[in-house]
Amino acid sequence: MAEHGVCPWWVGYLLASPIRKFWQDPVRVLEPYIRPGMTVLEPGPGMGFFTLEIARLVGPSGRAVAVDVQPRMIEALKRRARKAGLSDRIDARVCGPESMGLAGLDRSVDFVFACAMVHELPSAATFFAEAAQAMKSGAALLLAEPAGHVGETEFAEEIKAAAGAGLSLAERPVIKRCTAALLRKS
Ligand SMILES: C[S@@+](CC[C@H](N)C(=O)[O-])C[C@H]1O[C@@H](n2cnc3c(N)ncnc32)[C@H](O)[C@@H]1O
């Protein structure tokens, strides 16, 4: 797989800009998959461009678990969650580079949204294994990678790594400026 570094923390501000809604509206991207009461895992949330919408969609009885390797991303995400009055349903955590540290979440997650982050990881295989372990059977993982950074060959390798963890390709949704796949745990 190609080598990509972790995106600098200050890019988090650009990614969380409201202007991004013009090409990636979080409601349009996520509404088809998230229902009230769900537990949603968002690995690599950055400063929470999608997390706040996930929290709105799961409602007061649901939970968004956001796990990022950069403390500055998580600090900013928490600030934005507080401002939006959504902190009570967002569990934002800092993890290490090799593992998301999801102990306690086994088979409890209804939906995973991994946007523009798998290509930054040291091992896609480890990531998908951890995600699959946390997912309920039948749960879906929406994988989206920036088309400008991740080519079709690299994306196909990611899908192969996911298949190795028991996540099979269900759909190829269209998300502007991204290459995307909906993967399902059997
Ligand atoms: C390009 S940003 C995308 C942020 C967000 N998903 C979005 O689309 O706006 C990639 C994010 O993945 C995080 N990341 C990189 N390596 C990670 C790892 N090993 N575990 C968790 N998060 C990681 C980065 O810190 C960064 O916040």
pLDDT single digits (tens) 68-102? 999 999 999 999 999 999 999 999 999 999 999 99
| Residue 170, number of CB atoms within 10 A of its CB | 13
Report the pLDDT value the prediction gives residue 144, as an integer from 0 to 100: 98
**Fold for the domain defined by 21-185:** Rossmann fold (3.40.50)
Delimit the domains of the chain by residue range. Answer: 21-185
What whole-number distance in Å separates Cα of residue 44 and Cα of residue 50? Answer: 11
Report the pLDDT value the prediction gives residue 38, as an integer from 0 to 100: 98
Report the pLDDT value the prediction gives residue 4, as an integer from 0 to 100: 81
Which atom of ligand 1 is found nearest the CA of 42? 6
What whole-number distance in Å separates Cα of residue 24 and Cα of residue 32? Answer: 14
Q: Is the CB of 49 under 6 A from ligand 1?
A: yes
Report, as ranges of residue numbers, the positions in the chain whose pLDDT lies below 70: 1-2
Given ligand 1 and candidates 29, 68, 141, 142, which is best to mutate, with the most ligand atoms within 8 Å of its CB? 68
Report the pLDDT value the prediction gives residue 11, as an integer from 0 to 100: 95
Q: How far is the CA of 101 from the centre of ligand 1 (A)?
A: 15
What whole-number distance in Å separates Cα of residue 48 and Cα of residue 139? Answer: 22
Report the pLDDT value the prediction gives residue 1, as an integer from 0 to 100: 58
Q: Are 129 and 163 in contact (CB under 8 A)?
A: no
Q: How far is the CA of 133 from the centre of ligand 1 (A)?
A: 20
